[in-house]
C-alpha cells in the first residue's frame, strides 16, 4: 500500500508539471531525485529481499519511513501548487538588466586553482577536505556555475575556456566528484531544453547525449580509485560494470541513504530518542563559521544529527561509515513529523514562487534555477543544512561576481554600470 501511495504522489507531481515542463523544471528535477531515492531504492530492496546495511537491519523501519516520505512529498506538492497558483508573474524592469562582468576570467582561474590545491592535498595526505580545504571544495562547486553562466550568456567561445573546462572535468574525476559532473551536465541539458524546440532530430540527439552521459558516469565510477591515486595505468575504458552489478543495480547502489534513514526512524521511535529541535540545522550554521579555537579544548561541539545517525546502526561498521540522510529525515531528526510537514511545505512554497517568477528569456534567471538545483541536490542526498547553506553562499557570491547591474536611461542614450 505504501508504494502505491508514494507512486501516486509522484504521478500527481508529473501531471502537475507536464503541461509546461520548462517552467516547472526545478520541481521536476527534484521529484526525479526523490523518485529514485525514495521509491526505486526501497523497491529494489523488496525485489532483492535484502534488508541489511553496514552491519544493521533496516526492515523494522521500512514501511514507517515510506509513510514519512509520502507525507513529505505530499506537503512539497501542496506548497508548490499553492505558491505557483497564487504568485504573480514578475514584471520585468526594462530600465535594469544584468550583464556579464568582464573580469570573469580571473575568477575562473581562482576557482580552478582551488581544484588543483585539493588534488595536491589528496595525493599527499589522502583526503581533500578538512579545515580551510573545505572552502576550496565549495570554490570547486562555484566553477560549475561559472561555466554555466558563460554558456548561458553565449560567451563560451574562446579556446582557453575549452582547455579550462577539460582540465576542470579531469580534476573532478581525480577527486571522485561525480555529482559535480552530473550537475554540470544537467545544467547544459536544461539550457538546450529551454532554447531548442522539441523535434525528431532533437530527440535523436539527446538519445546519443544520454548514452554519452551514461558512459561518462560509468567510466568515473569504475576508475574512481585509479583517478584519485593518479594511477593512470589502471584506468579502463571498458563498458563493464562495477563488482558485476548490472547498470540498474549500479544506480541503485548509489541510493543507500534510505537504508540508513529506515534504521534511524526505527531507532528513534523504539528508544524514545529526543529530537534535536533544530540544533543541527540552525545552531551549527554558526558553529561551522566560528573557528575551533573559540571552543573548549579547541574542539567544536558534536553534531546531534550525526550522533543519532551513528547510534542507529548499532555496529562499528555503521558508526564509521559517514552515512548521510535526505532532507526529509533531517527534518524528522530535528522536529519529528511536524518538521517534515512544516519544512517540506515551506520548501514547496519557495520552489513554486521561484518557478513562477522566473523569466525563461533571461539567462541569469535560468542560472538561478540551476544554482537552486545544485543546492537542492546536495540537500536531498546529503541532508545537512549548515554545509548546504555554505554551498549556497559560495554560489551566490559567484553569481554576484559574474554579473553586474546596468541601468538604462529612458532616452537609451547612455548606461551606468554598477
User: What confidence tier does 93 reach under pLDDT thresholds 50, 70, 90?
Assistant: low
For residue 276, the number of C-alpha atoms closer than 13 Å in the C-beta half-sphere is: 21
pLDDT tens digits, one per residue of 1-29: 889 999 999 999 999 988 888 899 999 99
Residue 417 has pLDDT above 50, yes or no: no
* CA 123 to each of CA 20, 88, 169, 373: distance values in angstroms, whole numbers, following the listed order: 47, 52, 17, 31
Q: What is the domain extent for residue 351?
A: 2-417
Closest alpha carbon to 146 in 104, 203, 114: 104
> Does residue 411 have a pLDDT over 60?
no
Q: Is 126 exposed, middle or buried (0-12, 13-18, 19+ CB in 10 A)?
A: exposed
CA-based nearest residue to 335, from 288, 276, 388, 391: 276
Residue 67: CB atoms within 10 A of its CB come to 15
Per-residue model confidence as pLDDT tens digits over 283-295: 999 998 887 788 8
Contact 264, 329 (CB under 8 A): yes
pLDDT at 230: 62
pLDDT of residue 89 exceeding 80: yes
pLDDT at residue 115, as a whole number: 82
pLDDT band at 246 (very low <50, low <70, confident <90, very high): low
pTM, full prediction: 0.86
Please give the tally of structural domains in the chain.
1
Model pLDDT, residue 276:
95
The tens digit of pLDDT for each residue in 174-204 reads 777 777 788 888 888 888 878 876 556 666 7
Determine the Cα angle at 398 with ends 395 and 401, to 5°.
155
The answer, yes or no, to whether residue 409 has pLDDT greater than 50, is yes
CB 95 within 8 A of CB 406: no
* Amino acid 132: pLDDT: 63
pLDDT value at residue 256: 85
387: nearest Cα among 145, 138, 139: 138
The per-residue pLDDT for range 207-225, each reduced to its tens digit, is 676 666 666 666 666 666 6
Distance between CA atoms of 418 and 406, rounded to whole angstroms?
6
pLDDT over 60 (residue 327): yes
Percent of the chain with pLDDT over 70: 79
Residue 19 C-alpha cell reads as: 503541461
Average pLDDT of the segment spanning 242-263: 75
Short-list 73, 39, 25, 37, CA closest to 355:
25
User: What pLDDT score does 416 carry?
Assistant: 47
Q: What is the mean pLDDT of the chain?
A: 84
Residue 370 has pLDDT above 90, yes or no: yes
Residue 129 has pLDDT above 60, yes or no: no
Residue 401: is its pLDDT beyond 90? yes
pLDDT of 125 reads 63
Our CA dihedral for 231, 237, 239, 242, rounded to 10 degrees, sits at 0
DSSP string, 44-105: HHHHHT--EETTEE-GGGHHHHHHHHHHHHHHHHHHHHHHHHHSPPPPP-TTEEEEE-TTHH
User: What integer pLDDT is reported at residue 97 of this predicted model?
Assistant: 81
Q: Give the three-class secondary structure for 24.
A: coil
Residue 94, pLDDT > 70, answer no
- Radius of gyration over every alpha carbon of the chain, rounded to an integer in angstroms: 22
How much is the average pLDDT of 318-347?
93
How buried is residue 158: exposed, middle or buried, by Cβ count under 10 Å (0-12/13-18/19+)? exposed
> Range with the lowest mean pLDDT among 220-234, 304-318, 334-348?
220-234
Residues 6 or more apart whose Cβ sits within 8 Å of residue 49: none
The pLDDT value given to residue 345:
98
Closest by CA position to 138, among listed 118, 160, 155, 166: 118
Contact 277, 334 (CB under 8 A): yes
Strands 56-57 and 96-100: unpaired
Amino acid at each position: 500500500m505504501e508504494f502505491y501511495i508514494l507512486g501516486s504522489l509522484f504521478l500527481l507531481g508529473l501531471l502537475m508539471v507536464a503541461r509546461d515542463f520548462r517552467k516547472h523544471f526545478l520541481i521536476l528535477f527534484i521529484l526525479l531525485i526523490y523518485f529514485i531515492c525514495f521509491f526505486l531504492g526501497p523497491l529494489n530492496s523488496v525485489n532483492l529481499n535484502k534488508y541489511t546495511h553496514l552491519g544493521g537491519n533496516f526492515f523494522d523501519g521500512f514501511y514507517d519511513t515510506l509513510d514519512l516520505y509520502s507525507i513529505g512529498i505530499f506537503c512539497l506538492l501542496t506548497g508548490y501548487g499553492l505558491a505557483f497558483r497564487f504568485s504573480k508573474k514578475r514584471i520585468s524592469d526594462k530600465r535594469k538588466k544584468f550583464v556579464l562582468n568582464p573580469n570573469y576570467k580571473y575568477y575562473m582561474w581562482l576557482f580552478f586553482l582551488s581544484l588543483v590545491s585539493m588534488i595536491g592535498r589528496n595525493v599527499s595526505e589522502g583526503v581533500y577536505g578538512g579545515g580551510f580545504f573545505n572552502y576550496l571544495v565549495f570554490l570547486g562547486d562555484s566553477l560549475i556555475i561559472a561555466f554555466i553562466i558563460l554558456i548561458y550568456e553565449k560567451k563560451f567561445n574562446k579556446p582557453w575556456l575549452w582547455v579550462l573546462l577539460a582540465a576542470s572535468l579531469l580534476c573532478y574525476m581525480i577527486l571522485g566528484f561525480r555529482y559535480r559532473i552530473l550537475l554540470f551536465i544537467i545544467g547544459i541539458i536544461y539550457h538546450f531544453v529551454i532554447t531548442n524546440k522539441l523535434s525528431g532530430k532533437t530527440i535523436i540527439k539527446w538519445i546519443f547525449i544520454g548514452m554519452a552521459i551514461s558512459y561518462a558516469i560509468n567510466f568515473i565510477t569504475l576508475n574512481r580509485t585509479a583517478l584519485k591515486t593518479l594511477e593512470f595505468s589502471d584506468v579502463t575504458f571498458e563498458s563493464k560494470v562495477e563488482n558485476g552489478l548490472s547498470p540498474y543495480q549500479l544506480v541503485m547502489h548509489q541510493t543507500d541513504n534510505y537504508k540508513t534513514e529506515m534504521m534511524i526512524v526505527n531507532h528513534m521511535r523504539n528508544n524514545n530518542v529526543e529530537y534535536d529541535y533544530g540544533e543541527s540545522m540552525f545552531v551549527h550554521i554558526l558553529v561551522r563559521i566560528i573557528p575551533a579555537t573559540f571552543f573548549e579544548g579547541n574542539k567544536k561541539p558534536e553534531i546531534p544529527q550525526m550522533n543519532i545517525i551513528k547510534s542507529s546502526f548499532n555496529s562499528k561498521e555503521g558508526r564509521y561509515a559517514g552515512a548521510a540522510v535526505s532532507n526529509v529525515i533531517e527534518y524528522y531528526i530535528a522536529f519529528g513529523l511536524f518538521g517534515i510537514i512544516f519544512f517540506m511545505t515551506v520548501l514547496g512554497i519557495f520552489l513554486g514562487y521561484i518557478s513562477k517568477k522566473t523569466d525563461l528569456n533571461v539567462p541569469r534567471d535560468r542560472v538561478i534555477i540551476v544554482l537552486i538545483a545544485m543546492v537542492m541536490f546536495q540537500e536531498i542526498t546529503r541532508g545537512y543544512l549548515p554545509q548546504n547553506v555554505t554551498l549556497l553562499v559560495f554560489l551566490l557570491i559567484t553569481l554576484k561576481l559574474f554579473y553586474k547591474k546596468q541601468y538604462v536611461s529612458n532616452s537609451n542614450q547612455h548606461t551606468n554600470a554598477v
